[in-house]
Amino acid sequence: MTATISGPVLILGATSDIGWAIAQHYAQAGRPLLLAARNPERLEADAADLRIRWGADVRVADFDVLDVGGHSAFLDGLEELPATVVCVVGLLGSQPDAERDFTAARRVIDSNLTGPASILGEVANRMEARGSGTIIGISSVAGDRGRASNYIYGAAKAGFTAFLSGLRNRLAKRGVHVVTVKPGFVRTRMTEGMSLPARLTAEPNEVARAILAAEARGRDIVYVRPVWWVIMLVIRSLPEKIFKRTKL
């Protein structure tokens, strides 16, 4: 069943390509928007574009996912608690750098797990008290099983996936819907220069459409391209003795 959902949408990490695509689709749907990211001045042109193109009600805000001590104050400073919060924040980082330098590894972990869990935990508590809301977190198929090529990033995303799962379980009877989105490869600035298989690679607009559909239909876990569900099922099912010989 598809529901018509209204109310303001807060997009955390709105300067990303996926964040921008999500903002456009929500604006087209007539939802008021708050675009949040570090250096919010970078969002002003996007906000103006959405106002002109869709007549959208758009504001921008300064938000740093790594400033966990400031997350409660950030939410306190909003005019109202949004109906929907979408967390697009993430950092791929460099696996070789993370292996050599834990400072680099910690930045990846904090950007993909610690910071998002902090802000969404605050959001969850407030939505629970209100008795309504939707929380949407962008995780990754990389978190479905640790692989040598990106296990730092994968470990952070695995933690985030588990966090969202627990949050969903906790809030299921509290009127709050929690959605986990696993896009797989996406053609963005973050993956620029990488050789990506066309059949497995989504476009930012594809991710945005999947998010709006998941919210409207009450879905819990979304693989943007369903083929990823099959691929990760196979990868998760490999016995460890075989898996450790693979080059993934």
Residues assigned a catalytic role: 153
Residue pair 98/144 in contact (Cβ under 8 Å)? The answer is: no
Give Cα 207 distance to the centre of its chain.
10
Q: What are phi and psi of 48, to 5 degrees?
A: -60, -40
Q: CA-CA distance, 139 to 156, in Å (whole number)?
A: 9
Bridge partners, residue 240, by sequence: none
Question: How many other C-beta atoms lie within 10 A of the C-beta of residue 126?
Answer: 17
Amino acid at 153: Y
Query: CA-CA distances (angstroms) from residue 131 to 126, 175, 224?
Result: 9, 5, 28
Of 27, 8, 1, 7, the residue nearest 208 (C-alpha): 27
